[in-house]
Amino acid sequence: MRQEEEEDGGGPGLSFGFLRTKHIQKFVNQTWLERTGLSLEVKVVTLIWSFIVSVYPLGGFIGALLAGPMAIKLGRKKSLLLNNLFVMIAALLSGFSRSAKSFEMIVLGRVFAGINSGVSMNIQPMYLGESSPKKLRGAVAMTSACFTAFGLVMGQVIGLREILGSEEMWPLLLASNAVPGVLQLIVLPWLPESPRFLLIDQGDKESCICALQRLRGNSDLTGEMEEMLAEQAATKGKRAKKLWELFREPSLRWQLITIIVLSSAMQLCGNDSMYFYASYVFQEAGISSEKIQYVVIGTGCCELLTSVTCSLFIERVGRKALVLGGYSLMSVWAIVFMVALSQQDRISWIPYLSMACIFAYILSFGIGPAGVTGILPTELFDQMSRPAAYMICGSLIWLMLSLIGLLFPFILEGLGHFCFVPFFTVCVCSAVYVGFFLPETKGKSLMEITEEFNQRNLKAPARRSWNGPAEIKITKL
pLDDT in tens, 243-267: 888 888 888 899 999 999 999 999 8
Residue 320 counted as domain residue: yes
Share of the chain above pLDDT 70, in %: 90
| Average of per-residue pLDDT across 125-134 | 89
- In the predicted model, is pLDDT for residue 474 greater than 60? no
| Res 245: pLDDT | 87
- List the CATH number of the domain containing 181: 1.20.1250.20
| Average of per-residue pLDDT across 375-397 | 90
Residue 47 counted as domain residue: yes
Q: Distance between CA atoms of 95 and 93, rounded to whole angstroms?
A: 6
- Taking each continuous run of H as one helix and of E as one strand, the counts in the chain are 21, 2
| Res 111: pLDDT | 93
Q: How far is CA 229 from CA 195, 208, 223, in A?
A: 11, 11, 10
**pLDDT tens, 457-471?**
776 444 444 444 444
Instruction: Please list the residues that pair with 263 across neighbouring strands.
Output: none
| Res 20: pLDDT | 55
Query: 0.85 cut: is pTM over it?
Result: no
| Res 21: pLDDT | 65
Look at the chain and report how many structural domains it folds into: 1
Residue 346 counted as domain residue: yes
- In the predicted model, is pLDDT for residue 7 greater than 70? no
**pLDDT tens, 321-369?**
999 999 999 999 999 988 988 887 787 788 888 888 888 998 899 888 8
Share of the chain above pLDDT 90, in %: 32
Q: Are strands 12-16 and 2-6 parallel, antiparallel or unpaired?
A: antiparallel
Residue 464 counted as domain residue: no
- In the predicted model, is pLDDT for residue 129 greater than 60? yes
| Res 463: pLDDT | 45
| Res 8: pLDDT | 36
**pLDDT tens, 273-294?**
777 677 767 776 667 777 777 7
Residue 462 counted as domain residue: no
**pLDDT tens, 397-455?**
999 988 887 788 788 888 888 888 999 999 999 999 999 998 888 878 778 888 888 88
Choose between 314 and 280: higher pLDDT: 314
| Average of per-residue pLDDT across 187-195 | 94
| pLDDT-based confidence at residue 178 (cuts at 50, 70, 90) | very high
3-state secondary structure of 439: coil
Q: Distance between CA atoms of 435 and 427, rounded to whole angstroms?
A: 12
| Res 18: pLDDT | 39
Q: How far is CA 128 from CA 145, 326, 474, in A?
A: 11, 23, 68
Q: Which residues contact 317 (CB under 8 A, 6 or more apart)?
A: none
3-state secondary structure of 2: strand
**pLDDT tens, 58-99?**
999 999 999 999 999 999 999 999 999 999 999 999 999 999
What single-letter DSSP state applies at residue 48? Answer: H
- In the predicted model, is pLDDT for residue 25 greater than 80? no
| Res 461: pLDDT | 47
| Res 389: pLDDT | 92
The range of the structural domain enclosing residue 63 comes to: 2-219+229-457
Residue 475 counted as domain residue: no
DSSP letter string over 328-382?
Answer: HHHHHHHHHHHHHHHTTTT-TTHHHHHHHHHHHHHHHHHTTHHHHHHHHHHHHS-
Burial class (CB in 10 A: 0-12, 13-18, 19+), 309: middle
| Res 467: pLDDT | 46
- How many whole angstroms from its chain centre is CA 223? 32
Residue 107 counted as domain residue: yes
Average pLDDT, the chain: 83
Choose between 115 and 53: higher pLDDT: 115
11-41 burial code (b ≥16 CB/10 A, e <16): ebbbbbbbbbbebbbebbbebbeeeeeeebe
Burial class (CB in 10 A: 0-12, 13-18, 19+), 235: middle
Residue 469 counted as domain residue: no
Q: Which residues contact 379 (CB under 8 A, 6 or more apart)?
A: 129, 137, 138, 319, 441, 444, 446, 449
Contact yes or no for 16/26 (Cβ under 8 A): no
Choose between 192 and 468: higher pLDDT: 192
- In the predicted model, is pLDDT for residue 6 greater than 70? no
Contact yes or no for 441/319 (Cβ under 8 A): yes
Q: What is the CA radius of gyration of the chain?
A: 25
Contact yes or no for 373/241 (Cβ under 8 A): no
